[in-house]
């Protein structure tokens, strides 16, 4: 089954009771048992719920995995992965990643004795210098948030396997439509399903997908024991969103390309970060591991003025100034004061997240309206 068909049919079956084409919303916390311990596969909805299971099967299908897990948020999914570790274990992570991930790593798990190394991974060989007997996990984002850096997943997987480490890839920006990390050697794929998988800015959710049964069982145990699951209504919404993922991503990519080219030729723009440019660092790797280059773009204006960046995002009319990304509507954000405010200024600026940086999540509106909006806001 090819990807565009998987988004609609992958891991799904018609409702056994009445043949409903869409999985029903099982809005229940518990299930009747004929005698203690005998039931129809479901006993309590923290552990299993038919609507959530349908979604988890879809997650696994579109990422070419064997097991999918749905969580109450992307951070809850990341939390479950780090709970595989114990005090004294070490994680090697990219130094350009979502601020919420950085906050969870440094403000929560470092307090429990897990050590994190934040390094540049554009050259994957940099990783080996940080591997030691305590290293257990490599955490990768690609493209990264918000600098759109590209990390070679295959190269990271080679290093992970050489040292018997787990490799987890945050695939939120690319989505499985563009990139499938498990096929490139990753052990775990994570998504903030709030973003492109849901696609309509109406739900908060996280996802994990793995191939290995033993790893899946460990993660299912943590999911059930910690209880950070999503509800059936949210499961239904994200499952519905996945059914149009392929057609939405086509338009996100088309619009993203047009806007990146408009910005790079604008006389008031200093730098545009988008992996589709031939001069983008690791562009060739992006071409080899991604189907297209996505709808996420960051840029800075000439003069690198904080005040000018704020003025631009406030003047936008079709683009909405808001947190998040990946919805059908176009969004603009100021990472330094929004998504990455939890990262200290000195650390942010080392990776390029300067106060003048603007991040765009390009939606699926008419491209002429989007460019006209940028034109009036930038001048």
Q: Which of 170, 187, 234, 292 is catalytic?
A: 170
The sheet carrying 269-273 orders its strands as 269-273, 296-301, 358-361, 331-333, 320-321
Tokens coding 170: 């945050």
Coil, strand or helix: which one is 103?
helix
Known active-site residue 195: yes
Known active-site residue 292: no
Q: What is the CA radius of gyration of the chain?
A: 21
Calculate the alpha carbon distances from 12 to 6, 178, 363 in Å.
Answer: 9, 22, 28
> Alpha-carbon distance 196 to 69, whole Å?
17
Q: Which of 42, 46, 115, 130 is catalytic?
A: 46
Q: Which of 6, 67, 83, 98 is catalytic?
A: 98
Return the bridge partners of 117, or none.
Answer: 92
Residue in the structure block whose two tokens are 């723009």: 269
Pick from 178, 184, 179, 129: nearest CA to 155: 184
Calculate the alpha carbon distances from 29 to 10, 46, 128, 155 in Å.
Answer: 26, 8, 47, 44
Are 336 and 348 contacting, i.e. CB atoms less than 8 angstroms apart?
yes
Q: Which of 52, 136, 195, 248 is catalytic?
A: 195
Coil, strand or helix: which one is 127?
helix
Question: Other CB atoms closer than 10 Å to residue 368's CB: what's the count?
Answer: 9
Tokens coding 78: 């990341």
Question: Other CB atoms closer than 10 Å to residue 34's CB: what's the count?
Answer: 8
Calculate the alpha carbon distances from 90 to 76, 130, 146 in Å.
Answer: 20, 9, 24
Residues with catalytic roles: 46, 98, 170, 195
């Amino acid at each position: 089954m090819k990807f565009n068909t998987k988004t609609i049919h992958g891991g799904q079956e018609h409702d056994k009771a009445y043949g409903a084409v869409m999985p029903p919303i099982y809005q229940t916390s518990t299930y009747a048992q004929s005698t203690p311990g005998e039931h129809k596969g479901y006993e309590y909805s923290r552990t299993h719920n038919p609507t959530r299971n349908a979604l988890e099967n879809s997650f696994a299908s579109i990422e070419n995995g064997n097991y999918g897990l749905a969580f109450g948020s992307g951070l809850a999914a990341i939390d479950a992965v780090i709970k595989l570790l114990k005090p004294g274990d070490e994680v090697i992570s990219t130094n350009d990643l979502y601020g919420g991930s950085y906050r969870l790593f440094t403000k929560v798990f470092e307090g429990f004795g897990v050590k994190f190394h934040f390094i540049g991974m554009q050259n994957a060989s940099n990783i080996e210098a940080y591997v030691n007997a305590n290293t257990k996990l490599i955490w990768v984002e690609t493209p990264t948030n918000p600098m759109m850096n590209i990390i070679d997943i295959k190269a990271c997987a080679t290093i992970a396997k050489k040292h018997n480490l787990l490799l987890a890839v945050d695939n939120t920006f690319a989505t499985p439509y563009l990139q499938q990390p498990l096929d490139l050697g990753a052990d775990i794929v994570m998504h903030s399903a709030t973003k492109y998988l849901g696609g309509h800015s109406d739900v908060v959710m996280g996802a994990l997908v793995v191939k290995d049964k033993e790893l899946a069982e460990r993660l299912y145990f943590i999911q059930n024991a910690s209880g950070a699951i999503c509800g059936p209504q949210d499961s239904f919404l994200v499952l519905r969103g996945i059914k149009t993922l392929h057609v939405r991503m086509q338009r996100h990519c088309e619009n993203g390309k047009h806007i990146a080219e408009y910005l790079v030729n604008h006389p008031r723009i200093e730098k545009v970060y988008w992996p589709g440019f031939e001069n983008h660092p690791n562009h060739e790797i992006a071409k080899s591991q991604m189907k297209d280059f996505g709808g996420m773009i960051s840029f800075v204006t000439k003069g690198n003025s904080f005040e000018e960046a704020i003025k631009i995002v406030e003047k936008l009319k079709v683009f909405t100034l808001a947190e998040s990304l990946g919805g059908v509507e176009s969004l603009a954000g100021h990472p330094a004061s929004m998504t990455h405010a939890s990262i200290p200024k000195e650390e942010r600026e080392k990776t390029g997240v300067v106060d003048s940086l603007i991040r765009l999540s390009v939606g699926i509106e008419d491209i002429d309206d989007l460019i006209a909006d940028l034109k009036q806001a930038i001048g």
